[in-house]
Chains A and B, each alone.
Chain A
């Protein structure tokens, strides 16, 4: 559980990033502990995805320090992120439609022995992972093209569990899903937390965010604008921080 003391799983300090004339992030602090779901919320263009892409190794900060369990690191590419046991589910899921569920889970990390693919073991692990997430996918041999949007989202989340991650980044996992599918994904997020992982959740839906997160970090125009304990904060306080009705001075940030 998120015990006090000890180095956080991920700590980002004074992160800045500029795209040409646009200052996407400026002096942002961000922290995730094990067994914690941290939501990253803010208006369009607030810098949520930019920050998440730095965690998953797609972008590099212009300035700032990233630490993983107290060690300063540079997440220079997605494969480096994978080695650091950071898994990401991107907004567009990045799944291969023509392959089945098992092949998608192991894409690029197939299990081999003496050069031979170990299909049986991969299928078994896939079944285990899907069961762990209480996922509703009847067969691991179904091609992705035959699955519903919600089932594809479960596959994308299940894929993050291959390779024993400690941090999972979810970018808008419930956008464009039906009610039942949203319920499944939120249940998955609870499971990931129960498994002791740190989760970064980016979402526009305040109901979903408040339902599953422990802490809510608000970004506004590329700056921190409040850190809220999800169990003690109302909709209004968070919305006020997102829209800028309340402004949190740097240095006066309440630490949840």
Chain B
């Protein structure tokens, strides 16, 4: 103990301990009191007192569980009116978050996926992971009000089906929402990943103070989500903002969508990785982004040119919808100004300068988590808020 102890230190120490316990619970999702003591370095008595205080204040929930055959007190963050699940089923990654109506994330998990992952295997993984994560925070499927899932393909909001064939191999004829709902046992809402990124950024992120914004997802494929007058604009068949399938080279390669020379065939991950293969061998998109950030010449050039190429298409989009801000997310945006700089230049050079407010191009505040947070928001929006009585029942049952 330091010799600087003053009269106020007792309560500030207690406050610091409370914060430490809260952060630790947040980090691990659910911990028993004994594990909490070990993880924080506080005594079990202190932990027990703090947990009791925080329970009374409605910050945490407790439940009886077992560890190594012994009774233990499981501590989780308090949930307001049930849980929702956000799922981002990307091209090469699966991300899942559990969150509540206060938009706070209670548990989070990611998993690398193979290229062209199969529909049945991936949805099964989602269902298993969700069940496992719920168990970890001491909840069950009955606590879940809904699941939101984002996929890298345009989705028809009315049916929850992919509205363009061939974009996700082997996924075309599946009713995504229904198939997953059957496996997880609660309602599922489906949307395009870029639309979800737009939803998250305009609700919680960089464009939350703007009525009109565009979110550009620069990842394995390129997409955009539009927010017009504060509402996501999906288009009649969910095709709005599919800038990855805007033609930029009439003589280019044939795209997965069946057209020719789409933006994706030029700056999609396959095209970018093919371009570095002769000198660097097989790299992943993440390798390219990391190398560009470190200043590797070839990879920086590749990422910068991709930024300019995407910017040219985004400029046209901006002329059509006139947003106040363009928010850029996805893995490529993680390389920072190497990518954003040329993209910003390409957009502003093609835009008509207006005297009211210049167009801003900013990175996503939520980073690569924007899509999964959007999926969580979608689930919360789609869910009907349960009556207060449900919460009481849940507590008396535990």
- 5 residue pairs bridging A and B, Cβ less than 8 Å apart: A179-B132, A180-B133, A183-B111, A187-B110, A206-B114
Q: Is the pair A146, B68 in contact by a Cβ cutoff of 8 Å?
A: yes
Q: Is the pair A179, B125 in contact by a Cβ cutoff of 8 Å?
A: yes
Which of B116, B125, B282 sits near A229, CB closer than 8 Å? B282
CB-defined interface of A200-215 with B at 8 Å, one 1/0 digit per residue? 0000001101111011
Q: Is the pair A179, B128 in contact by a Cβ cutoff of 8 Å?
A: yes
> How far is it, in angstroms, between the C-alpha of A231 and the C-alpha of B38 when the chains are bound?
42
Q: Is the pair A180, B129 in contact by a Cβ cutoff of 8 Å?
A: yes
The interface residues of chain A lying within 8 Å CB-to-CB of B31 are: 138
Q: Is the pair A234, B131 in contact by a Cβ cutoff of 8 Å?
A: no
Q: Is the pair B67, A146 in contact by a Cβ cutoff of 8 Å?
A: yes
CB-defined interface of A201-240 with B at 8 Å, one 1/0 digit per residue? 0000011011110110000000000000111001100000
Q: Is the pair A187, B284 in contact by a Cβ cutoff of 8 Å?
A: no
Q: Give chain A interface residues in 94-149, CB to chain B under 8 Å.
A: 136, 138-139, 141-142, 145-146
> How far is it, in angstroms, between the C-alpha of A211 and the C-alpha of B118 when the chains are bound?
12
- For residue B321, CB closer than 8 A to chain A, the reply is no
- For residue A1, CB closer than 8 A to chain B, the reply is yes
Q: Is the pair B291, A1 in contact by a Cβ cutoff of 8 Å?
A: yes
The interface residues of chain B lying within 8 Å CB-to-CB of A187 are: 110-112
> How far is it, in angstroms, between the C-alpha of A187 and the C-alpha of B109 when the chains are bound?
10
Which of B111, B114, B287 sits near A1, CB closer than 8 Å? B287
Interface residues on A, range: 35 or more
- For residue B389, CB closer than 8 A to chain A, the reply is no
The interface residues of chain A lying within 8 Å CB-to-CB of B283 are: 1-2
- Closest 3 pairs between A and B when the two form their complex, measured CB to CB: A210-B114, A139-B38, A138-B39
The interface residues of chain A lying within 8 Å CB-to-CB of B80 are: none
Q: Give chain B interface residues in 278-303, CB to chain A under 8 Å.
A: 279-284, 286-287, 290-291
- For residue B101, CB closer than 8 A to chain A, the reply is no
- For residue A163, CB closer than 8 A to chain B, the reply is no
- For residue B121, CB closer than 8 A to chain A, the reply is yes
Question: Which chain B residue lies CB-closest to A180?
Answer: B132
The interface residues of chain A lying within 8 Å CB-to-CB of B131 are: 179
The interface residues of chain B lying within 8 Å CB-to-CB of A1 are: 280-281, 283, 287, 291
